[in-house]
Chain A
Amino acid sequence: MPGYRLINQISMANPKAGSQSTSIAELRKEADQLKIKLNEDRKNLDDAKLFEMGAKPDIVNYQARCRRILKGHSSKVLDLDWSLDKRRIVSSSQDGKVLVWDCFAASKEQLISLPTTWVNACAFAPSGCSIACGGLDNKCCVFPVNACSYSNSGSNVAGSTTIRPSGAVGPSDVCSGSIMQQRKVVAMHTSYISACSFTHSDYQILTASGDGSCALWDVESSQLLQSFHGHQSDVMDAALNPMETGNLFISGGCDKRACVWDMRTAKCVQSFQTHKSDINSVRWFPTGEAFATGSDDATIRMYDLRADREIACYEKKSILFGINSVDFSVSGRIIFGAYNDYLVHVWDTIKGTKINSLLGHENRVSCLKMSPDGTAFCSGSWDTTLRVWA
């Protein structure tokens, strides 16, 4: 990326102070050298390679079929999230529509039309009673979900049929008027929202934005609790530690960096920069001790917090296209990647081999998420559909 560097120099170096540009160049050089040295030092601490250690266990066989196709969006699907009841899915699309699905019956439950386009992020609250979404309008809004009949513990889905108003009354008309009144603007950024997620409760939202920051918000009062600055470029994704005791979250952005943040001090405690292009997605390993990132450079990399380094890189010569989203199976043995080449590639975490490629989508796969119990996963694509695989 010589171009970017050049421009950085130009924009920083004022014509009045011409000598500064050279000193900046020198400093950059020095920083690069230091980085290389750091990487070498890290390498010296290597004791074993994950893939070598993982050669012993049996090969996992993973076959998945597309079980449901959720059709209804009229534009590219950009993000999706599962409800904790393992049954409902919320998805957002480029034309500003947010849909809540019942993925068992492949039916739609609710539609929310936002006044903005490119709804980049959506998330289900842990209770299943509200959803959050955000996009190009730089806001993250929370909406109530009408069908709150599922038990939020997820332990008994039985007997919870959704009673919707009869079709003749056009439920969307009824709610689209009022839903905008029920809308609650929680977060405001100075650039687009790229990811949002509830923390372990309904009362807080973590957002990542194109202005290069992440922020934690209080839902009720729409107050900023903590903001996290440190990325040099757009933040594309953020994920909270799956452990409830964990105070960490991770983020990845267009500066090719994955950062680990401490929520208490709002400081970046660890950062990794081994990707060769933008990071599009970050996801924790289920135990919360490692995480995986997916990038435009067609690799998925796994970083370990304890080892403080990249421990695995999942790539193949024949895979050229970038990754939009990654997720782990519940055990962590399998990594799913949503790729720009219309495929979902399935990787063996400890062997580093590709197990399977799932063909089905007719355009870029933009988002992918495992269901909370790990029995199925859902992928959304630019071909306007969502698919549930099991």
Chain B
Amino acid sequence: MSKKLSQEALRTQWQKALEGVLLKRPTDLIVDNSTFDLNDGVIIDIKDLEDQVENGKADISDIAINLKHPPRQSVYTKLSALLVEMQHATEGVQTFRQNFRALRDTSCKVSCKERERNQKDGVPDAFWTTELIRWLKQVLNIECDLEACHLATMLCKTGYIYPCNVQWNAVNFKISEPDGNMVFRYQTPFYWPNESQFPLDQDHASHLLMREANNHGIPMDEYEIMCLSRLKKVLKHQWDCITQSALTQTSFLEGCCPSDQYINAWQNYAFWRVRRPPAYYKYICKAESCLNGPNRNFPSFTETSIVPSENDKEKKTAMSPSKILTSSCKRSTGPYKLQCKAWGMSFDALLKDELGQLTFEKHLKKEFSEENLAFYLDCIYLRSAPLKELEELIQSIFSEFISPNGATPVNIDTQTLNAVKAEMKTKKTRFVFDLALEHIYKLMKKDSYKRFPSSKLFKETLETAIVPQKPEKEKGKLPKIWRLSQFLTKGKEEDPERGENNK
């Protein structure tokens, strides 16, 4: 019995310690009856571990603690370090004592006596956006305001700091101005993401119950009320237990001083705002419904499909996307100037380009060595040819290019020839011609290609190459192709369905 219990305890410990690992790879943690597979080549056998613990060889709590910062969480370790630095007494972010008076408009329900007391002292450790941005810029050498704002936003989104603002939403929260007058506070380390990665629904329910009882000046949101009623249904079997725990916590908090209560309420609120944010947007298109025929909710899709909806047929004829796109993106068959220049500079660039290959072939034909290129291209194809054709291909390449009686034998020395022949006899792999290929490649590069840039053919091609023109701009208007995109995104934003979903 005791053994079973310890296994249970062990597993919860492990689970807690390893939860963070789940972040990136869903298969990281496979928990079955007896093994934890970390998928890092590390399989932990519970029984094995139990024996170790019994023999005093390993201490479970040690391992659990060691794993609290698994390598995948390096970002959280860094952020935590930054936060510690931030709270330094002298070189950290300058804080001020936040007054309750400032919060009066959030309909705070603290009794008059307490409010007076707090008005005198205020709640310490609050800071302004300006100060936060200034500090970040100074400590991390950030030049750009926008970047510092973004980092501050990320700190909020990951739940290290939180704004003292009832309306904030972890999903679309954004600090846009470096000198905005928002008040921030630190989240307690207990709530930092590396300590508690996946909070349970039970905890959320208990938090919501506490908020229902006493909201400390932060009124319940509509979504929170909905969430509570949903949780009530889902966790019906545990509800007594949850109410009990909520009650205990509340009674514990009642003993604390009001400023502690106030901070605690805010921290809890911020934590759950990050972990269980209100569903602020439902994705506008469900991919499937989107492809299921014309749908007025998806203007972008119907717009670009071939069948025009009747009411904007006129628009269609004016700017059918496919027409505009194909006309504006029309490509001529000839090469571009830059493309051509690259051929002159690098042999690899020439061979990689299909048009380059064609041009080079013409050049080689004049030098009567076009079989080199043909051999090269065939070998490249052979590299990744289908298995079925392999045998046949090797044979045909051999008979055409290597064997002395072939139609167009390539120019390789006897040593290479013999080596290839020997390999043909032993094992016919994809790489059987590699030696010959290397030889031919070098030959082309050093011999034929050297003459290529100065050849008449290349100069002619370069001259006739196309210089792409910028799309003509109409006066004060964007080129057609971008105007279309504006039209499309506009349509999406005005989507009536989206507004409904927001609720």
Contacts and interface: CB of A to CB of B under 8 A. Distances in A.
A199, A203, A220, A297: residue with the most chain B Cβ atoms closer than 10 Å: A203
B329 A4 contact: no
Contact of A320 (B79, B144, B285, B304): B79
Contacts of B140: 317-318
B354 interface: yes
Contacts of A244: 351-352, 380, 383
B485 A158 contact: no
A108, A171, A219, A340: residue with the most chain B Cβ atoms closer than 10 Å: A108
Contacts of A7: 38, 42, 44, 63, 67
A273 interface: no
A74 B42 contact: no
Given A10-B48, A320-B78, A107 B384 contact: no
A278 interface: yes
Interface residues of B, number: 98
Contact of B307 (A166, A173, A254): A166
Contacts of B325: 104-105
Interface string A284-310: 000100000000111000000000000
Interface in B290-327: 290-294, 300-302, 304-307, 321-322, 325-326
A212 interface: yes
A164 B386 contact: no
B491 to A, nearest CB: 11
Contact of A6 (B66, B294, B355, B438): B66
Contacts of B4: none
A223 B354 CA distance: 30
Contact of B291 (A155, A170, A287): A170
B41 interface: yes
Nearest to A99: B287
Interface stretch (A24-32, A56-64, A65-73, A177-185): A65-73
A286 B171 CA distance: 38
Given A10-B44, A155-B331, A170-B293, A296 B72 contact: yes
Nearest to A201: B384
Interface string A40-81: 000000000000000000000000000111011110000000
Contact of A108 (B58, B290, B381, B492): B290
A3 interface: yes
B407 to A, nearest CB: 24
A2 B65 CA distance: 10
A158 B330 contact: yes
B300 A106 contact: yes
B26 interface: yes
Contacts of B141: 316-318
Contacts of A204: 384
Interface string B165-176: 000000110000
B287 A162 contact: no
A316 B78 CA distance: 13
A175 B24 CA distance: 32
A276 B74 contact: yes
Interface in B73-102: 74-75, 78-79, 82
B287 A167 contact: no
A157 interface: yes
B72 A278 contact: yes
Contacts of A162: 306, 322
Given A104-B329, A158-B326, A200 B384 contact: yes
Bin the interface of chain A by size: 35 or more
A8 B329 CA distance: 57
B387 A218 contact: yes
B25 interface: yes
Contacts of A159: 326
Contact of A15 (B48, B172, B286): B48
B44 A169 contact: no
B150 interface: yes
A363 to B, nearest CB: 9
Contacts of B144: 357
B75 A322 contact: yes
B387 A318 contact: no
B278 to A, nearest CB: 15
Interface in B28-46: 38-45
Interface in B141-161: 141-142, 144, 146-148, 150-151, 154
A278 B39 CA distance: 13
A146 interface: no
A350 interface: no
B285 A167 contact: no
Contacts of B488: 106
A232 B40 CA distance: 7
Nearest to A244: B380
Contacts, number: 250
A72 B290 contact: yes
A321 B307 CA distance: 45
B303 to A, nearest CB: 8
A276 to B, nearest CB: 7
A157 B287 contact: no
Interface in A101-159: 102, 104-108, 111, 113, 117-118, 136, 153, 155-159
A170 B305 CA distance: 12
A104, A200, A204: residue with the most chain B Cβ atoms closer than 10 Å: A104
A156 B284 contact: no
Contacts of B492: 71
B489 A69 contact: yes
Contacts of B304: 102, 105-107
B283 interface: yes
A161 interface: yes
B293 A341 contact: no
Interface in B328-361: 329-333, 348, 351-352, 354-355
Given A3-B66, A69-B489, A107-B301, A160 B306 contact: no
Contacts of B63: 3, 6-7, 10
Contacts of A166: 305-307
Interface in A241-272: 243-245, 247, 254-256, 264
B322 A105 contact: yes
Given A71-B492, A244-B352, A245-B437, A106 B485 contact: yes
B110 interface: no
A254 B72 CA distance: 9
A157 B27 contact: no
B368 interface: no
Contact of B172 (A108, A296, A362): A362
B441 interface: yes
Contact of A167 (B71, B142, B307, B485): B307
B388 interface: yes
6 closest A-B pairs by CB: A3-B66, A107-B304, A172-B291, A318-B140, A201-B384, A3-B67
20 contacts: A4-B71, A7-B63, A8-B42, A111-B287, A162-B322, A167-B305, A168-B294, A173-B292, A192-B26, A203-B386, A210-B39, A218-B387, A233-B39, A254-B40, A278-B72, A296-B71, A318-B142, A320-B75, A320-B82, A342-B150
Given A111-B287, A318-B147, A341-B150, 11 more contacts: A169-B293, A203-B386, A220-B386, A233-B39, A233-B41, A234-B40, A247-B434, A317-B140, A317-B141, A320-B75, A341-B154
Interface of B: 24-27, 38-45, 48-49, 51-52, 55, 57-58, 62-63, 66-72, 74-75, 78-79, 82, 136, 140-142, 144, 146-148, 150-151, 154, 171-172, 283-288, 290-294, 300-302, 304-307, 321-322, 325-326, 329-333, 348, 351-352, 354-355, 380-381, 383-388, 429, 431, 434, 437-438, 441, 481-482, 485, 488-489, 492
